[in-house]
Structure formats: structure tokens, C-alpha cells
Structure 1
């Protein structure tokens, strides 16, 4: 199913349009760029999370979107769901 908040940039990245803007480094943004994950990204996120699947996913998405842990924790669940959609674009 196509998601209108996921834009394929054709270069191994997608733009994820957020439901509500977030502040990154003091600037408001309504979209984030997510790069395609690698197996190595998955392994690093899992190792950092020490058997906590939710934390591993948050770490992975933060890395793929170049978002800090604080940025990730401040996301609304609706915006986080959109990042999950972006990730599924690469894995479905």
C-alpha cells in the first residue's frame, strides 16, 4: 500500500513527511531523510540495545535518520509510526 508521507528519492533514501513538525537543533522541520539500512546497521543497533527490541529499533531509526537519542525520544507516536513506514519501504 502506498503511503503519501513516504517519498522515494531514488538514491537509496526516502523523505518521511511528519504529521507534526519537530525541532532539530533548534530548527523546526516537517520531514526527515531516512537512508536505506544495512545489515551492519541492524547488528550495531541490536548490540547497543542488549536484547531490548524496542530500544534497538529506536537506535536504528535514529541512526538512519541522523536523529539524536533526544530527538527520537521526543517524537510523537504518530511521527514514530511514519518512521516505521519509511523503514518498511526498504524491507517489504
Structure 2
């Protein structure tokens, strides 16, 4: 028995190439199922490797594709995974909350870097 699941297309900030040299500029991620979490529990890698493998499965790409993404692009996939854990009726609000939180984190990091002189040429 299968049920429809939500799929979201994520545009990468930094497109990458697959093993055949084809450019990948977007990834489609499907909503996770319990099976995905169970499958992840059988993997023998580190928690980070297992998470990347699960996200690769949700995006239907080889894990090496995920491992070669920039941190910013991987964060987009992590955020979408978090949104998928919310009930469908609450996902729009979850997206807004995550975007707001990420903006606050960027601002705090920039303020900290400016205060430490990293961007002032010191």
C-alpha cells in the first residue's frame, strides 16, 4: 500500500556535476516515511553519514551527490527535512519559522565576525 507524499524541488545555490558530468542545479526531495528512518537505523556510518544517506534516498540520488554539496545547499535539504516532520497543515508556518531562525543566525554570525575584526582588515 502506498500513499501520496509531498515532493519539493530545491534549487541549489551552487550547482554540481554528477559522475557522468551532468550538471545538477535542482534536487527534488520527497516526504520521508517511517521506512526511511528504519532503513537509516541499519546503516553503519557516523550519524552525519547516515543522515546524508537518508537525504540522498529522499532525493533519489547517489549519496556522493549529497556529500559533494556545499554546506549552504545541504542546509536547504536539512531544513526541508525538518519541515516535512511537521503536519501538512503546519508546513507553511514551519518554513517561515526556519527562514526567520536562519536569518537571525546569519545576522548574529556577521555581528560576531565584525566585532572580532575578521572583516575589518585587522
The answer to whether TM tops 0.5 is yes
CA distance in 2, matches of 1:13, 1:63: 13
2:23 paired residue among 7, 23, 28: 28
Cα offset for 1:49?
A: 3.3
Q: Unpaired runs of 5+ in structure 1?
A: 1-10
Moved over 2 A (4+): none
CA distance in 2, matches of 1:83, 1:68: 15
C-alpha contact (below 8 Å) 1:15/1:32 kept by paired residues: yes
Instruction: Pick the structure with more strand per residue.
Output: 1
CA distance in 1, matches of 2:70, 2:30: 21
Structure with the greater alpha carbon radius of gyration: 2
Normalising to structure 1: TM-score of the pair? 0.77
Aligned Cα root-mean-square deviation (Å): 1.8
Cα offset for 1:22?
A: 1.5
- Quote the residue 2:49 is aligned against: 55
Q: Unpaired runs of 5+ in structure 2?
A: 87-122
SS at structure 1 position matched to 2:9: strand
Aligned residues: 82
CA distance in 2, matches of 1:89, 1:26: 31
Between 1 and 2, higher relative CO (CA 8 Å, sep ≥ 6) is seen in 1
Normalising to structure 2: TM-score of the pair? 0.60
C-alpha contact (below 8 Å) 1:46/1:53 kept by paired residues: no
Cα offset for 1:26?
A: 2.0
